[in-house]
Structure 1
Amino acid sequence: MSTNEATRGRPRRAEVDTRIVDAALVEMRTKGLTNLTLEAVAVRAEVGRPTVYRRYRNKEELIRFVLTEKVPSLSTNKTEDPVDDLISMAVTFAEDLDKSGLLSVVVAAHAEARHNLVMAEVLKTDYLLPRNDSVVDFINRALGSNDLIDVEPETVRDLLFGPLIYRLLVVGDDVSPRSLRMLAETAMSGLRAHRST
């Protein structure tokens, strides 16, 4: 919860917050993010409009809060194999995102940010950067191990996460943990350093 949210209005009630977030998710899935309004969320949550507006100044803040609260985090245990740790983090995130049912909402939020400057700034500052920092930390560990060729961290990120998200969002079949792991390992195989023996 941001400082603004914590200090505006009366103390927040957890059950009201939950109803608002649940209502927002339904609205996002049924009407899309472009057509999302705080008024519609208030009606669906069966709360007054001021109750929603005390918590969120605009729909972008609400979307950011929903994503921050509901989208699985990016984390895994660190072992002696930083490349395998990176793969495990990506695969676990893909599995958790698939189970959450939020993939289409996440993709829609990124699409909305392409033409909505307020959304782009809110997502970048409060949602993407903290998650990206976690990913980059694991990527830099993997690059530092000399088990990968020397490429930009963003290249590693895109080549690893891109196929996983495509499999989940576009292909939609064979998303078992084993299949996702094989896909991630195949994607990373092109980045592995080939040492002469």
Structure 2
Amino acid sequence: MTATPRPSPGRPRDDQVDHRIADAAVELFGRKGWASFSIEAVARLAGVGKASVYLRWRNKEELLVEALKLRMGRISDVDTGTVRGDLVELVQQLLTLYTGERGQAALRLGIEARGIPGLAERYEDMAQAQILAARAIVRRGIRRGELPENTSVTFLLDAVCGGAMNHALTVPPALGPLTAEAMADYAEHFVDFVLTSVLSGP
């Protein structure tokens, strides 16, 4: 269960400071990983005193868990009315997650979460929710008759989700951050490519 930051005595909490600390925590985790993550380093990056962090969180485990909850995007199930539209939306969400300003943290989370005290359980819950959302898209497409009944949910999502992550990781830095238009264009063409393979059969 995620711990709630402790209320501080005296003056009311400043939400802007909360957000600065959370942003700094996610950025530091993304750049340096858990081994270099500390209250002191987060405070320096956020431009606040160490005491300000400890007034809100008891330790670095609580800080990182809460920061990821506050500032990390999640993959959700969006029903556009067609399986193509749903998969395009899924790919765009994945690209936004992995190429956005918190993309490094999202990637590290998948690698390190299970070894971080207090975060492993929350990560499993988040990962499971994302898996269920993605699987719902494919199952809905099968029920609608848009996909063959024998479509492998696992293989289709491995192709779509794996392809989206690979694209996010391999775009040359020289090209700069992916724009919303570039992500939308890639998502549509990529989903069409995958669906053509699925619908053409063996």
TM-score normalized by the length of structure 2: 0.73
Greater RCO, CA 8 A, separation 6+? 2
Change (3 A) 1:79 1:27: closer
Change (3 A) 1:179 1:44: closer
Give the CA RMSD over aligned residues: 3.2
Deviation at 1:161, TM superposition (A): 0.8
Structure 2: distance between partners of 1:90 and 1:65: 25
> Are 2:87 and 2:137, in contact at CA under 8 Å, matched by a contact in 1?
no
Identity of aligned residues (%): 24
Deviation at 1:56, TM superposition (A): 3.6
Deviation at 1:171, TM superposition (A): 4.0
Tell me which amino acid in the other structure corresponds to 2:53.
V
Question: 1:80 corresponds to which residue?
Answer: 81
Change (3 A) 1:193 1:119: farther
Change (3 A) 1:70 1:187: farther
Change (3 A) 1:65 1:4: closer
Alignment of 1:14-53 (within 5 A): 14-53=15-54
Alignment of 1:174-185 (within 5 A): 176=182, 177-185=184-192
> Are 2:39 and 2:50, in contact at CA under 8 Å, matched by a contact in 1?
yes
Unaligned runs of 5+ in 1: none
Question: 2:105 corresponds to which residue?
Answer: 105
> Are 1:38 and 1:59, in contact at CA under 8 Å, matched by a contact in 2?
yes
Partner SS for 1:87: helix
Question: 1:9 corresponds to which residue?
Answer: 7
Tell me which amino acid in the other structure corresponds to 1:104.
Q
TM-score normalized by the length of structure 1: 0.75
The alignment of Structure 1 onto Structure 2 pairs a total of residues equal to: 191
Question: 2:158 corresponds to which residue?
Answer: 158
Unaligned runs of 5+ in 2: none
Structure 2: distance between partners of 1:112 and 1:131: 18
